[in-house]
């Protein structure tokens, strides 16, 4: 049996200090992908040395790209050009990383070699038809299990053709997958999103000198272009900052500064939602690095109130709901989330797993098919299962700040997928967290 990591968090405390959380996961993945396909040398700083981004890095190394680092967040990628990737000797193991699998699926659909993508138990359960179906319309040949899940076997085809695709779900992974396939397709590939989703792929493609068109909700690329290497400064991940924004908001006496946080307007839903709940978050020193807005955030404890979360904020805060549910549990009154069925197909079913965990701590939390209803109130101590989902583990760790007993959290090793050093950083700010390995 795999060894499991247990978090043990003592109740109470407050968060204070001045910190920088690790680099943005979405941007780190894309830096490796585009840097590998570019002509020239791409230097990345602030790279996230977490398992997910490292899975992408290893995949490109396995396809013949020379990549130095990471060392203290620095990575140097010697690009091989659009047609320089080589067939890997073995299946590419993408671990827990949905972003790696979905984006690579598009990027590899137009290569001249066969490649197999595999992942861990959680990734092997996640829906891949959302990418394989539109890619098939572009002429790709991709085999999945009958359920539409990984392993995915991608076979070389004569050529891809651009399509005009209306995405049924608001997903940056699907959009990015198709735009990356579109780089290799004949003509234009157009993707319409039902609601705005993170636009790091579009921004970074432009940074590498590739034109990306915007027509209303449509994003499009024309195949056959080239990428020129550039330097990338990866901002701190707002999705990782979110745990600290919530922790400092709910723990009386907290005063915490988070530096160099990515503030892309397609990612800032967590700030909008927390502010609507009454949080005290000051945004200062706004600037732009490499085409991405960043800022320093100062957060102080404040009484929160329950709200009905606006549905248009859902895609803009899609990864932050585990943390936001903890904020809701500490708020006065009821918080209602709707329009968030996508949470059920993340690294875990985040609606069910959070509802189970909150209930185990004595919080009234009722899951609904597309969201949850949470009544704010006291939080007890207890034991919760993160189901190997990094963000669930970190969200419940923050809940201890307001609990009246110790919180034990099972199956926390995957915190390393997005936030290496979480325990040390959180402990340094005042969270009474420790960890135990147990069989
Ligand atoms: C991501 C997109 C989102 C997000 C994931 C990262 C990306 O997924 O949940 O953590 O980097 O494009 P969906 O596209 O499935 O919403």
- Flag the least confident range among 1-10, 114-123, 378-387: 1-10
Q: What is the whole-number distance in angstroms between the Cα of residue 284 and the centre of ligand 1?
A: 27
CB 32 within 8 A of CB 77: yes
Distance CA 274, CA 286 (A): 19
Is the pLDDT reported for residue 49 higher than 80?
Answer: yes
Distance CA 117, CA 154 (A): 8
Alpha helix positions (H), 117-237? 129-137, 172-182, 200-207
CA R_g for the chain:
21
The confidence score (pLDDT) of residue 1 equals 37
Q: What is the whole-number distance in angstroms between the Cα of residue 318 and the centre of ligand 1?
A: 8
Q: What is the whole-number distance in angstroms between the Cα of residue 362 and the centre of ligand 1?
A: 31
Q: Which of 52, 319, 385, 411 is labelled catalytic?
A: 319
The confidence score (pLDDT) of residue 438 equals 73
What does the pLDDT average to over 179-206? 98
Is the pLDDT reported for residue 114 higher than 80?
Answer: yes
Task: Tell me the per-residue pLDDT of 268-286, one tens digit each, with 9 for 90 and over.
Answer: 999 999 999 999 999 999 9
Please tell me if the CB atom of residue 204 comes closer than 6 angstroms to any atom of ligand 1. no
Is the pLDDT reported for residue 96 higher than 80?
Answer: yes
Q: What is the whole-number distance in angstroms between the Cα of residue 51 and the centre of ligand 1?
A: 16
Residue 144's pLDDT band, with cuts at 50, 70 and 90, is: very high
What does the pLDDT average to over 147-152? 98
Q: Strand 74-78 to strand 66-71: parallel, antiparallel, or no bridges (unpaired)? A: antiparallel
Q: Strands (DSSP E) along 243-308, which ranges?
A: 255-262, 280-289, 292-300
Domain boundaries along the sequence of the chain: 4-23+235-438, 26-233
Q: What is the whole-number distance in angstroms between the Cα of residue 173 and the centre of ligand 1?
A: 5
CB 437 within 8 A of CB 3: yes
Please tell me if the CB atom of residue 179 comes closer than 6 angstroms to any atom of ligand 1. no
Distance CA 281, CA 297 (A): 7
Task: Tell me the per-residue pLDDT of 34-47, one tens digit each, with 9 for 90 and over.
Answer: 999 999 999 999 99
Which residue has a Cα nearest atom 5 of ligand 1?
A: 99
411 is catalytic: no
Task: Tell me the per-residue pLDDT of 368-412, one tens digit each, with 9 for 90 and over.
Answer: 999 999 999 999 999 999 999 999 999 999 999 999 999 999 999
Please tell me if the CB atom of residue 198 comes closer than 6 angstroms to any atom of ligand 1. yes
Residue 439's pLDDT band, with cuts at 50, 70 and 90, is: low
Please tell me if the CB atom of residue 172 comes closer than 6 angstroms to any atom of ligand 1. yes
Distance CA 397, CA 73 (A): 26
The 10 Å Cβ neighbour count of residue 438 is 8
Please tell me if the CB atom of residue 313 comes closer than 6 angstroms to any atom of ligand 1. no
The confidence score (pLDDT) of residue 164 equals 98
User: How many CA atoms lie within 13 Å of 104's alpha carbon, on the beta-carbon side?
Assistant: 33
Q: Strands (DSSP E) along 301-431, which ranges?
A: 334-337, 364-368, 371-375, 382-385, 407-410
Q: What is the whole-number distance in angstroms between the Cα of residue 268 and the centre of ligand 1?
A: 14
Q: 143: buried, middle or exposed (CB in 10 Å: 19+, 13-18, 0-12)?
A: exposed
- Ligand 1: which of 48, 95, 98 to mutate, judged by most atoms within 8 Å of the beta carbon? 98
Q: What is the whole-number distance in angstroms between the Cα of residue 175 and the centre of ligand 1?
A: 10
Measured in whole angstroms, the distance separating CA 88 from the mean position of its chain's CA atoms is 26
Which residue has a Cα nearest atom 9 of ligand 1?
A: 319
Please tell me if the CB atom of residue 99 comes closer than 6 angstroms to any atom of ligand 1. yes
Is the pLDDT reported for residue 3 higher than 70?
Answer: no
Which residue has a Cα nearest atom 15 of ligand 1?
A: 171
Please tell me if the CB atom of residue 240 comes closer than 6 angstroms to any atom of ligand 1. no
Dihedral (CA of 341, 343, 349, 351) sign: negative
Distance CA 358, CA 378 (A): 11
Domain 4-23+235-438 CATH (choose: 3.40.1380.10, 3.40.50.2300, 3.65.10.10, 3.30.565.10): 3.65.10.10
Task: Tell me the per-residue pLDDT of 327-369, one tens digit each, with 9 for 90 and over.
Answer: 999 999 999 999 999 999 999 999 999 999 999 999 999 999 9
Chain position carrying tokens 């993160």: 386
Q: Which atom of ligand 1 is nearest to the CA of 25?
A: 11
Share of the chain above pLDDT 70, in %: 99
Alpha helix positions (H), 63-140? 98-109, 129-137
Distance CA 335, CA 317 (A): 15
Cis status of the peptide bond prior to 176, with omega within 30 of 0: no
The confidence score (pLDDT) of residue 174 equals 98
Alpha helix positions (H), 111-226? 129-137, 172-182, 200-207
Please tell me what DSSP assigns to residue 358. Answer: H
Residue 2's pLDDT band, with cuts at 50, 70 and 90, is: very low
CB 245 within 8 A of CB 273: no
Please tell me if the CB atom of residue 239 comes closer than 6 angstroms to any atom of ligand 1. no
The 10 Å Cβ neighbour count of residue 111 is 19
What does the pLDDT average to over 56-83? 98
Which residue has a Cα nearest atom 13 of ligand 1?
A: 171
Which CATH code is given to the segment(s) 26-233? 3.65.10.10
Please tell me if the CB atom of residue 103 comes closer than 6 angstroms to any atom of ligand 1. no
Share of the chain above pLDDT 90, in %: 98
This prediction's pTM? 0.98
Please tell me if the CB atom of residue 96 comes closer than 6 angstroms to any atom of ligand 1. no
- Ligand 1: which of 96, 170, 171 to mutate, judged by most atoms within 8 Å of the beta carbon? 171
Chain position carrying tokens 């861990």: 120
Which of 172, 190, 178, 102 minimizes the C-alpha distance to 134? 178
The confidence score (pLDDT) of residue 247 equals 99
CB 189 within 8 A of CB 202: no
Task: Tell me the per-residue pLDDT of 400-433, one tens digit each, with 9 for 90 and over.
Answer: 999 999 999 999 999 999 999 999 999 999 999 9
Q: Do domains 4-23+235-438 and 26-233 have the same CATH topology?
A: yes
The confidence score (pLDDT) of residue 207 equals 98
Mean pLDDT (the chain) is 97
């Amino acid at each position: 049996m795999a060894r499991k990591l247990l978090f043990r968090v003592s109740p109470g405390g407050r968060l204070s200090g001045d910190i920088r959380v690790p680099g943005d996961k979405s941007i780190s993945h894309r830096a490796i992908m585009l840097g590998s396909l570019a002509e020239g040398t791409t230097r990345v700083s602030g790279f996230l040395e977490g398992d997910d981004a490292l899975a992408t890095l290893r995949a490109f190394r396995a396809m013949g790209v020379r990549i130095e680092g990471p060392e203290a967040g620095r990575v140097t990628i010697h690009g091989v050009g659009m047609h320089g990737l080589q067939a890997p000797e073995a299946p590419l193991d993408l671990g827990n990383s949905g972003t790696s699998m979905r984006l690579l699926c598009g990027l590899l659909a137009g290569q001249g070699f066969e490649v197999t993508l595999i992942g861990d138990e959680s990734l092997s359960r996640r829906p891949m038809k959302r990418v394989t179906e539109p890619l098939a319309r572009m002429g790709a040949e991709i085999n999945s299990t009958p359920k539409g899940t990984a392993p995915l076997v991608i076979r070389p085809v004569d050529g891809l053709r651009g399509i005009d695709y209306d995405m049924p779900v608001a997903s940056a992974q699907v959009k990015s997958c198709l735009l990356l396939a579109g780089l290799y397709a004949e003509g234009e590939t157009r993707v319409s999103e039902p609601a705005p989703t993170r636009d790091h792929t579009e921004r970074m493609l432009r940074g590498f000198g590739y034109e990306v068109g915007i027509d209303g909700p449509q994003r499009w690329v024309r195949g056959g272009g080239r990428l020129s290497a550039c330097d990338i400064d990866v901002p701190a991940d707002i999705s990782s900052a979110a745990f600290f924004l919530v922790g400092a908001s709910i723990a009386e006496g907290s005063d915490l500064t988070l530096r160099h946080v990515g503030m892309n307007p397609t990612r800032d839903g967590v700030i909008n939602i927390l502010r609507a709940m009454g949080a005290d978050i000051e945004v200062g020193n706004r600037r732009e690095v490499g085409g991405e807005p960043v800022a320093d955030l100062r957060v102080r404890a404040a009484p929160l109130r329950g709200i009905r979360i606006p549905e248009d904020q859902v895609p803009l805060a899609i990864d932050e709901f585990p943390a936001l549910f903890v904020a809701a549990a500490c708020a006065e009154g009821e918080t209602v989330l709707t329009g968030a069925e996508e949470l059920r197909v993340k690294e875990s079913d985040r609606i069910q797993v959070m509802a189970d965990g909150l209930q185990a701590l004595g919080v009234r939390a009722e899951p609904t098919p597309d969201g949850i209803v949470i009544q704010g109130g006291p939080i007890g101590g207890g034991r919760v299962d993160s189901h190997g989902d990094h963000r669930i583990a970190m969200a419940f760790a923050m809940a201890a700040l307001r609990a009246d007993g110790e919180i034990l959290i099972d199956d926390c090793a995957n915190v390393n997928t997005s936030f290496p050093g979480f325990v040390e950083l959180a402990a340094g700010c005042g969270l009474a967290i420790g960890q135990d390995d147990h069989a």
